[in-house]
Chains A and B, each alone.
Chain A
């Protein structure tokens, strides 16, 4: 079994009369559409396995109808799984008797909702202390604890207002306070900030990140906003049609999307901040190997002209970068009637850049350098070149 705070294994949810039949068909490789047509069953979640580490913010992303809201409800069992296991701290929630499930929900997990789901007839304070009240805590004690969390989310002065007197952002602060009041080790957040305007959404993300700094909890966060996912997610899981397509850090997903569906999510994102020299490099500069004997200058000059290139790089047999030659300079010297020698007259030293150098540093180097710059891999060997033209076309392609 995988380790982790939350471990989900081969989880299925089928909405319909005969879930087992539909699961068998899924295992035979039939599509959702086929199963719907043949059995009338709708596949909510199909064979999902993943684990969430302690203290991590795990963001589930997907288009509407991709099963992400169903999946999180299988984790706290607001929806009964059709098959599979959900382990929280090693305890299988999917098989827990009702009384223990209620106990777990009261003690160690809570949830924040897209529509805030506050009780309109309760004051902010009574809403925030709802979980504690359900767990049977006395009035004085639960109000004191609720007041503490209201202070944490900056709503202490609104404790005696009613939800309808607050703005959307403030209402969700109450929702967050209600979830924090029971001091759970994990929180499930279902599109918690999606109903807020972009500014308020950012503000709430900051509130959440701030709270995480003070007290790390394990959070599963459903979102359809990729910017939000990248901003707050330790890791992101992408869902499509009930399946979990890919899980990884934001950078991993941007660098190696599993398929077009995943790639499309990042289409609108300015991913350039994740680009490094390694992404930008290409074999665009002709290479000449210096194997103890310098390559012939005239030959290099002819070949560069034929290829319509302005620069060539010289490397040695161990692929160490030796320097760069400019066609312009060769031509100039030849015109002057001199017979240039490669090492003394032509070879220009440029510091190579490592593959993991971020885009902005690469740009800084390109600006001060006339020609392309060489890229070396982790072992110091030549790996490719970045020219200004190459960089621009790559950025446009993003």
Chain B
């Protein structure tokens, strides 16, 4: 076989066609995303470093505990001292923007997929594709359609980070105890009441797990997105690779790791605190099983 199947050129044609005919639409989407992410970044850069840091420390203290609050404070101080504060905030802004857009699209899509077999059937392979395609690949069409800068970075990040939000929302709703749903229906819930008063509250731990995963995936992707000029800590990582500067690589990489740990633990705590109800239930059931059966 000397002739190879040229799937690649077909994809090129599609992207070129989109570019030729719909550039106006892409421009306006780009403008919205750009405006949105700039606003978030400005908001984060507005307060002095110590105020933002205190905010995170307070959040850590409230959700997790004193030890974690100390860790958060130490991490951010380290980042400030190594001179990566501004890049870190930019990365944080990009992560937030991409996450918010992912959730805005992903959660409703997840709800839809939970309620319609057909939508579930269509979204599943698409989500598989979105998640398993090497993340770099999204950067190429994104850059072609939206130009260089933060916008293609955020768009590529949204594509990469949205699947867990969709999946875990859908899963959470589908896994709500059948009798709980029946209870809602038997008391006369409309479809909307069932969703908002029964299914979503019960699915919240699962949805929060999706939010946590989306944030983590978004963070990893916005670093990669520096290749199309998204900015932030990714720029330093990229520069350290290009210059083989192990020191710079370590410093910027360290900032990413610390940021990741802090974001992960804090968002995770929102999921588990809610789930504590079912956890303690399991715990009590377990105790019951272990206790010898009383004679009937």
Cβ of A130 and Cβ of B186 under 8 Å apart? Answer: no
Check if B180 sits within 8 Å of A121, measured CB to CB.
no
The 0/1 profile, CB within 8 Å of B marked 1, for residues 115-142 of chain A is: 1010111100000001101110000000
What chain A residues lie within 8 Å of B184 (beta carbons)? 134
Contact (Cβ within 8 A) B188 A117: no
Q: How far is the CB of A160 from chain B (nearest CB, A)?
A: 15
A113 at interface (Cβ–Cβ under 8 A)?
Answer: yes
Sort chain A's interface into a size bin: 20 to 34
In the assembled complex, the Cα of A131 lies from the Cα of B294 at a distance in Å of 36
Residue on A nearest B284 in the bound complex, by CB: A164
Interface string of A62-80 (1 = CB under 8 A from B): 0000000000010010100
The verdict on A105 contacting chain B, using a C-beta distance below 8 Å, is: yes
Q: How far is the CB of A204 from chain B (nearest CB, A)?
A: 16
- A122, closest chain B residue (CB): B201
Is B182 touching A113 in the complex (CB atoms < 8 A)? yes
Interface size class of B (residues with CB under 8 A): 20 to 34
Contact assessment for A198 and B296 in the assembled complex, using a CB-CB cutoff below 8 Å: yes
B242-283: which residues lie under 8 A (CB-CB) from chain A? 274, 277-278, 280-281
A14 within 8 A of B: no
Does the CB pair A130–B277 fall under 8 Å? Answer: no
Q: A120-B278, A197-B294, A198-B296 are in contact. Are A102 and B183 (CB under 8 A)?
A: no
Chain B residues with Cβ below 8 Å from A178 are 183, 187
Contact between chains at B179 and A115 (CB < 8 Å)? yes
Closest 4 CB pairs of A and B: A106-B188, A105-B188, A111-B186, A117-B183
A-B contact pairs, 18 of them (CB 8 A): A78-B182, A102-B189, A102-B190, A103-B188, A105-B186, A106-B187, A110-B187, A111-B182, A111-B186, A111-B187, A115-B179, A119-B201, A120-B281, A134-B189, A163-B277, A164-B278, A164-B280, A164-B284
Listed in ascending order, the chain A residues whose CB lies under 8 Å from chain B are 73, 76, 78, 102-107, 109-111, 113-115, 117, 119-122, 130-131, 133-135, 162-164, 178, 182, 188, 197-198
Contacts beyond the supplied A102-B188, A119-B201, A164-B278: 17 A-B pairs with Cβ under 8 Å: A73-B182, A104-B188, A106-B187, A107-B188, A111-B186, A113-B183, A114-B179, A117-B177, A120-B277, A121-B202, A130-B183, A131-B187, A134-B184, A134-B197, A164-B277, A164-B284, A188-B186
